[in-house]
Amino acid sequence: MFPFFENFELENRKLENPSSFLWIDLFTLDNLITKPYSTVILLTERFRQAKLTHNFLKDYKIFMRVKSDEKRQAIIDIAKECFSQQGVSGTSMSQLAKQVGGSKATLYNYFSSKEEIFAEVMQSSATEQISNSFLSLDVNRDVRTSLLEFGYNFLDSILTPDAISIYRMAVAEADRSDIGRHFYNNGPKKGWKHLSEYIEKQSLKGELSQCNPWIAAMQFKALLSSEYVEQYAFAAIDKPSQQQIKTTVEQAVDAFMKLYGNE
């Protein structure tokens, strides 16, 4: 399981049961690591009595990095479940620590605050897929084709339990903390700003009529979202079929092009 154990060497030392020595001090060293990805510091007396090969230290650092990534993801997964059930304000760092199986100090080794954990929950959910949908807006492609692809990917991504759950949590916390503002500024606002910049570039190229690009972006957002998003957020409907989403997007693009197209 740990092939780098083979690289451990003891020189000129007569120690009883070296394998036990290794396991004990690896455990001790693990608990002495104070921050993710920190440099391995040899603090125990027994490590000062031994010579560790370069390969062992290199492999151990890799092992600790993998372990740190796994721990970080475990915290995010547990936090997401707690936030969904109790809300962000209703979940304390102590509760998260208990669920994770450590102390609050463990959480603070990875995240500076509960708000930062929520930000990571947001980024690790379907919001990444939503963000990627905006990347399909290529000014070198036909406007209608780009808007159709973007619209379908956006709706298909946002009409998911993960994405709607994050949206609900951010709205619920908006009047209690900065979480709602943080969510908007680091999520939706960035995406719609990207669409606004795309519309502005296409207007300058003459592919779209001159307009206020931000207002035009908000109008396209409304055209895409009006039929299903609110109902889905209130759990009033199940996710629409692919054909239903496609039809909604086609109608939205047609309406948008009638407003701003130069065809």
User: Taking the model in full, what pTM does it have?
Assistant: 0.65
Supply the pLDDT for residue 148.
96
What average pLDDT does range 148-162 have in this prediction?
Answer: 92
The model's confidence at residue 125, banded by pLDDT at 50, 70 and 90, is low
Express each pLDDT in 219-232 by its tens digit: 999 999 999 999 99
107 has pLDDT over 50: yes
| Nearest in space to 5 (alpha carbons), one of 20, 134, 40 | 20
Supply the pLDDT for residue 192.
93
For residues 252 and 247, give the distance between their C-alpha atoms in angstroms, rounded to a whole number. Answer: 9
The model's confidence at residue 217, banded by pLDDT at 50, 70 and 90, is very high
Supply the pLDDT for residue 7.
37
Query: What amino acid is encoded at 31 in this protein?
Result: N
Residue 126, both tokens: 């379907």
Q: Which CATH number fits domain 125-260: 3.90.1150.10, 1.10.357.10, 2.60.40.1930, 1.10.2020.10?
A: 1.10.357.10
> Higher confidence at residue 59 or residue 129?
129
What average pLDDT does range 237-246 have in this prediction?
Answer: 96
> Higher confidence at residue 248 or residue 60?
248
Domains of the chain: which residue ranges? 3-115, 125-260
54 has pLDDT over 80: no
Supply the pLDDT for residue 43.
40
Supply the pLDDT for residue 222.
97
What average pLDDT does range 143-149 have in this prediction?
Answer: 95
Q: Average pLDDT, whole number, for the chain?
A: 76
CATH topology of domain 3-115: Arc Repressor Mutant, subunit A (1.10.10)
Query: What are all long-range contacts of 48-54, with beta carbons under 8 Å and residues at least 24 apart?
Result: 49/13, 49/15, 50/10, 50/11, 50/13, 50/15, 50/21, 51/9, 51/10, 51/11, 52/8, 52/9, 53/7, 53/8, 53/9
10 has pLDDT over 50: no
What average pLDDT does range 171-192 have in this prediction?
Answer: 82
Supply the pLDDT for residue 256.
97
> In the chain, what percentage of residues exceed pLDDT 90?
35
Express each pLDDT in 62-103 by its tens digit: 444 545 778 888 888 888 888 877 877 788 888 888 888 878
